Amino acid sequence: MIYLCRHGETFLEQQKRKQGHINSELTLLTPQGYEDSKIVASKIKDKNIEVIYTSPLLRTIQTTTIIMDNLPVKPKVVIEPELIEMLFGEWEGLRKEEIEVGWPGELEERERIGRWNYRVPSGESYRDVSERTAKWWDEKSRYLPQNSLLVSHNVVAMSLRKHVYDLRVEQALALSHTHKEVWELKY
C-alpha cells in the first residue's frame, strides 16, 4: 500500500496566503503543524514504512523529519521534485484581498473558467499539476516499495487521488485535504 499525506500547517497558511513554491521561514510548520505531523506518524506507525518520498520544499521535509522521529524504524527518504506544490506564480505569498487589488477581475475569471483550468499568472493550473503528478505516478508507482509514504501538498494530494481513483474533476475538487489525514493509494 502506498500512503499519502500533506505537510503540517505553516505560518503562511495561518495568514491565508498562497504558498506555492515559497521556501522560507514563513513556510515552516506552526506548533499545530508539528502536532499534525505527529498525528500522521501515529496513524502509520504500524505500517512498516520503508521509504518516504517527499516534495523538496521545507514544509514537507520538516513534516517528513517529524514523522520519522515518531516511527519505530527510520525509513529511507527520497526527494521527489514532481511532488512539489502548484506554482502560484505572481500570486505566491499573497492573500485573496491582495490578489483582488493587484489583478482586478482575475479571481472572478478563475471562478468563471473553473479552478481546474485557470492558470495563475506565471504559474500553473490544477490541470497542470494533475498532469504532472499523473505522469509521475504512472512512471513510478509500480517501482515504489509496498509500504511507502508520499509527503506532499494540497493540490498534489488532490491530483494524485483523482488519478489513482479515476475521479471526475468535480469529485476531486470536493475531496477533503486536512493536514492530519492519511490516504491509501492502491495501484
Q: Give the chain as a DSSP string.
A: -EEEEEPPPBHHHHTTB--TT--SGGGSBPHHHHHHHHHHHHHHTTS---EEEE-SSHHHHHHHHHHHHTSSSPPEEEE-GGGPPP--GGGTT-BHHHHHHHSTTHHHHHHHH-TTTPPPTTS--HHHHHHHHHHHHHHHGGGS-SSEEEEE-HHHHHHHHHHHTT--HHHHHT----TT--EEE--
Distances 161 to 23, 59, 94 between C-alpha atoms, Å: 25, 21, 27
Q: Catalytic: which of 9, 85, 92, 124?
A: 85
82 has catalytic annotation: no
9 has catalytic annotation: no
Q: Which residues are catalytic, by number?
A: 7, 85
